Amino acid sequence: MEKKFGGTEIYLDKVYDYADCLDNKVSGCCDNCNSAYFKSSVKDGVFLRECGECGMKKSI
């Protein structure tokens, strides 16, 4: 599944890296839908943040 954000395609099944990610226009909010609700997990020393609204994933 994909969505467009400011002309950029967002693939919701991809895990984005924080350093290579889109412009973080609003700190603490999702780059795709601007929600501030996240589900977080840690696996193999990698912190993964998933938006609770749209499902966009970002490794921090």
Q: Which residues contact 13 (CB under 8 A, 6 or more apart)?
A: 1
Is the pLDDT at 4 greater than 90? The verdict is no
Count of domains forming the chain: 1
pTM: 0.74
Is-contact 57 50, C-beta < 8 A?
A: yes
Q: Tell me the per-residue pLDDT of 10-26, one tens digit each, with 9 for 90 and over.
A: 788 888 888 766 566 67
Q: Which structure tokens are listed for 17?
A: 């890296």
H helix count then E strand count, the chain? 0, 6
Q: Which domain holds residue 6?
A: 2-59
Residue 3 pLDDT > 70: no
- Could you give the percent of the chain with pLDDT greater than 90? 28
Do residues 36 and 28 make contact, with C-beta atoms less than 8 angstroms apart? yes
